[in-house]
Amino acid sequence: MTDLLSKFDPLIQQRDDLLSSGLTDPFALVMEKVESPTVAICNGRRTILLGTYNYMGMTFDPDVVAAGKQALDEFGSGTTGSRVLNGTYVGHKAVEEALKDFYAMDHAMVFSTGYQANLGIISTIAGKEDYIILDIDSHASIYDGCALGNAQIVPFRHNDIEALEKRLKRLPPEAGKLVILEGVYSMLGDVAPLKEMVAVCKAAGAMVLVDEAHSMGFIGERGRGVAEAQGVIDDVDFIIGTFSKSVGTVGGFCVSNPPKFEILRLVCRPYVFTASLPPSVVATAATSIRKLMDSADKRAHLWENSKRLHAGLRQLGFKLGTDEPQSAIIAVLMPDLETGAAMWEALLDEGLYVNLARPPATPAGMTLLRCSLCALHTNEQVGEILGMFAAAGRATGCIS
């Protein structure tokens, strides 16, 4: 018998080598208690959370929690069904209404996760004769959406407007084209030049899909994302988003204006052949989305936090993913996986949780300590965080 798992031997070996040095496994952390959006107990220790994507801190919002409890009481623990059979409750329609209001768009379709939203929309709308033109640094869910479908896939260099334009011009003018971009790229926290790129796409007759997972609720005047901030949201055909970041629960969605959009509910397999979100989840999401519409003060504080952490880390001597803070993600570049893992553990010992990100999730083989701020991090916490980075950085030799 051939052991089908043998193909993972190199990865097993790499993990064994890393863990045999006595390091804590960075991919097996357990949170024993969660006190708030910014604090949890890990290994018995009070830990500041700086890697949760809980940008707007909605997970413990009293209105959000109350809505979830009420739905649990009134509608039970789950739908046990597909959206197109027995899995659409009033709550699912209500959260879709909240999304339509939030984005001021005509259609909203809610999926069970953000991953499934990309998987479903991308694989369904681009057929065999169509072309998908995508940024090379696109998220795994976008690539998997391409792999599930049959379209011709054309990647272009990250955030390179000219590379995108050249490729669009080389494609047959009559062919169907879908350009896939992200508002904020989650690994380095950099923002796409959507204003220029969307204009190039429209000139080439391409439809545009923008994944705004990491910008919803935070970027743009009304929190609609980078496309709003750069004034091109009306030219975007599909916006993909998630409930598992600023909204503070789980689920994914697509909002859109094209009139034929609703037919996707019948032909999109990752929407049809899976159970819908539990009533408590859609109730918390709808409540949270409506509160996010009116959160300008929190947005301002999150920007302040991001700017202060970015400047402070640079001052300490860390290399960062962007020269200026462009989002609530700040990526600290590590020289290699071993140093990255050691620094990650030193930070955890100090009482700080960040994400350790490594290839293949990262571009150019980088190892990153990815920090994502929350609007509920206090000024004092940001100060504490900088102190922990200083101590851990010196202990591991990352900074002098």
Partner 1 sequence: MPDRHQILAETLELIEPFNKKGVDVTEATRFAQDLEWDSLTVLDFVANVEDEFDVIITMNMQAEIETVGQLVDALDRLTAGK
If binding is defined by CB under 8 A, does position 154 make contact with partner 1? yes
Dihedral of the CA atoms 317, 321, 326, 329 (nearest 10)? -90
Report how many residues bind partner 1 under the rule CB under 8 A. Answer: 17
Residues numbered 294-333 forming contacts with partner 1, rule: CB under 8 A: none
If binding is defined by CB under 8 A, does position 12 make contact with partner 1? no
If binding is defined by CB under 8 A, does position 176 make contact with partner 1? no
* Identity of the residue, 160 or 304, whose beta carbon is nearer to partner 1 in the bound complex: 160
Pairing of strands 367-372, 329-334: antiparallel
Angle at 190 between CA 337 and CA 184, to 5 degrees: 110
If binding is defined by CB under 8 A, does position 161 make contact with partner 1? no
Q: Is 148 left (phi over 0), alpha (psi -120 to 50) or beta?
A: alpha
Task: Select the residue interacting with partner 1 from 81, 155, 193, 387 (CB under 8 A).
Answer: 155
Instruction: Give the nearest distance from C-beta 160 to partner 1 in angstroms.
Output: 9
Distance CA 180, CA 196 (A): 14
What residues have CB less than 8 Å from 306, skipping those under 6 apart? 325, 327, 328, 330, 373
Instruction: Give the nearest distance from C-beta 371 to partner 1 in angstroms.
Output: 24
Instruction: Give the nearest distance from C-beta 61 to partner 1 in angstroms.
Output: 41
Task: Select the residue interacting with partner 1 from 163, 250, 293, 395 (CB under 8 A).
Answer: 163
Tokens (6 digits) for 147? 């792999």
Task: Select the residue interacting with partner 1 from 156, 185, 218, 271 (CB under 8 A).
Answer: 156
Instruction: Give the nearest distance from C-beta 122 to partner 1 in angstroms.
Output: 14
DSSP reduced 3-state for 333? strand
Please name the amino acid found at residue 97: E
Of 162-170, 190-198, 300-308, 343-351, the segment contacting partner 1 by CB under 8 A is: 162-170
DSSP reduced 3-state for 47? strand
Of 86-94, 161-169, 334-342, 367-375, the segment contacting partner 1 by CB under 8 A is: 161-169
Of 193-201, 279-287, 313-321, 358-366, the segment contacting partner 1 by CB under 8 A is: 358-366
- x-or-dash string of contact with partner 1, 121-150, rule CB under 8 A: ----------x----x---------x----
* Identity of the residue, 113 or 138, whose beta carbon is nearer to partner 1 in the bound complex: 138
Of 66-74, 115-123, 151-159, 306-314, the segment contacting partner 1 by CB under 8 A is: 151-159
Distance CA 251, CA 83 (A): 13
If binding is defined by CB under 8 A, does position 157 make contact with partner 1? yes
Place of tokens 């993972």: 8
> Across the beta sheet with 367-372, what order do the strands follow?
329-334, 367-372, 355-357
Instruction: Give the nearest distance from C-beta 4 to partner 1 in angstroms.
Output: 22
* Identity of the residue, 172 or 259, whose beta carbon is nearer to partner 1 in the bound complex: 172
* Identity of the residue, 145 or 312, whose beta carbon is nearer to partner 1 in the bound complex: 145
Please name the amino acid found at residue 99: L
Instruction: Give the nearest distance from C-beta 364 to partner 1 in angstroms.
Output: 6
Distance CA 36, CA 48 (A): 10
Distance CA 68, CA 48 (A): 25
Distances (CA, A) of 77 to 68, 98, 281, 307, 342: 10, 22, 10, 41, 41
If binding is defined by CB under 8 A, does position 175 make contact with partner 1? no
Alpha helix ranges (H) inside the chain: 9-20, 62-75, 90-103, 114-125, 140-148, 161-170, 194-203, 226-229, 264-267, 269-272, 279-292, 296-316, 337-350, 379-395
If binding is defined by CB under 8 A, does position 260 make contact with partner 1? no
Residues numbered 360-379 forming contacts with partner 1, rule: CB under 8 A: 363-365
Instruction: Give the nearest distance from C-beta 116 to partner 1 in angstroms.
Output: 22
* Identity of the residue, 34 or 163, whose beta carbon is nearer to partner 1 in the bound complex: 163
**What residues line the site for partner 1 (CB under 8 A)?**
131, 136, 146, 152-157, 163, 166-167, 170-171, 363-365
